[in-house]
Amino acid sequence: MKRQLLATSIAIGTLLAASACATTAPGSSTKADESKGTVKVVAAENFWGSLATQLGGDHADVQSIITNPASDPHDYEPTSTDATAIHGAQMVIINGVGYDAWASKLATANAVKSRIDLTVGDLVGVAPGGNPHRWYDPDNVRTVIDAITAGYQKLDPADAAYFDTQRSTVLNTNLKQYFDLINQIKTGYSGVPVGASESIFAPLATATGLDLVTPASFLDAISEGGEPTAADKVTIDTQIKDKQIRVYVYNRQNATPDVQAQVNEAKAAGIPVTTITETLTPAGASFQDWQVAQLKALLAALTEAK
């Protein structure tokens, strides 16, 4: 059955009513909380929330809604607590591109005129129907970092220099190994054919120069919870059997029977297998620790296959 946003168990109108009962009045959170000196931020997903936390330092209070690795951001059912948090936020970060439509609906229903709403898909120019996994594109990550920093500086102009320093630290220190590993893989393995279970890996494959040869229709079907075609499965079976791919990458948070069968086939054929996930794993990891661990595993698999 095609993955789609489930009807929420609590109507948006009810969520709005609940948030209106919060002690924070509409419009009262349009600038940094002077008593605490912090900007209140809500991120729909913890991978963007991790970056917002690092960029804000002790001048931001960041709450992520999706934090459980077992949660599916596509199908998440928001609560009145989520609505209240968004209503009281000064900045809201939403992935967009159809990935977390529930968050966009909550932000619209709980609108605050001077709040900054950042939708990543809009920032990077990817429309609904495109690949929503923008946190796997390092150029998009840089764009989001710049947008969050600009948002902090608009909401708290007195600390603009502080946020510039935080941005520099995040890009040049915190994320240095992340960017270095991407460049290392691109330098050493550009053009190497690889297979994957779904479209979540596509942006990273492009960034690292790897040749993702799995049919796009299969990648999209698995990502969207659909049924892949028999023709696509035959194509992938042939790619594995004939060792047309050097490494197989799969999302271990979404290992369907078809994907698990391909994993087993790849291992039987002596093709190295490695994994990625949609959200921070473990849940308390930083964006860079999560990504670096996955990139190291990918590099090790490519080295083993060489």
Which residue's entry shows tokens 């948090």? 85
Q: What's the angle, vertex CA 39, arms to CA 35 and CA 45, rounded to 5?
A: 145
Residue 75: the pLDDT is 82
| Within-domain flag for 6 | no
A 10 A CB-CB count for 165 gives: 12
Number of domains in the chain: 2
In this predicted structure, the answer to whether residue 224 has a pLDDT above a threshold of 80 is yes
| Domain termination residue (choose one: 174, 198, 221) | 174
Residue predicted with more confidence, 2 or 122: 122
Residue 20: the pLDDT is 42
- Give the pLDDT band of residue 71 (cuts 50, 70, 90): confident
Q: Report the C-alpha gap between 225 and 6 in whole angstroms.
A: 13
| Within-domain flag for 111 | yes
- Give the pLDDT band of residue 131 (cuts 50, 70, 90): very high
Tens digit of pLDDT for each residue in 19-62?
Answer: 444 433 333 344 555 445 799 999 999 999 999 999 999 999 99
| Same domain (yes/no): 169, 197 | no
A 10 A CB-CB count for 1 gives: 6
Give this prediction's pTM.
Answer: 0.89
| Same domain (yes/no): 129, 259 | no
| Same domain (yes/no): 90, 64 | yes
Give, to the nearest 10 degrees, the angle between helix 287-305 and helix 176-189: 20
Give, to the nearest 10 degrees, the angle between helix 287-305 and helix 46-56: 120
Tens digit of pLDDT for each residue in 160-174?
Answer: 999 999 999 999 999
Check the CA dihedral 64-68-74-78 and report its sign: negative
Strands (E), 197-279: 211-212, 247-251, 273-276
Strands (E), 88-179: 91-94, 116-119
| Within-domain flag for 206 | yes
| Same domain (yes/no): 203, 263 | yes
In this predicted structure, the answer to whether residue 17 has a pLDDT above a threshold of 60 is no
In this predicted structure, the answer to whether residue 7 has a pLDDT above a threshold of 80 is no
Residue 219: the pLDDT is 97
CA 34 to chain CA centroid, nearest Å: 31
Decide if 55 contacts 148 (C-beta within 8 A): yes
Hey, what are 287's tokens? 């964006």
Q: For residue 230, what are the domain limits?
A: 178-305
| Within-domain flag for 87 | yes
Q: What is the CATH number of the domain that holds 76?
A: 3.40.50.1980
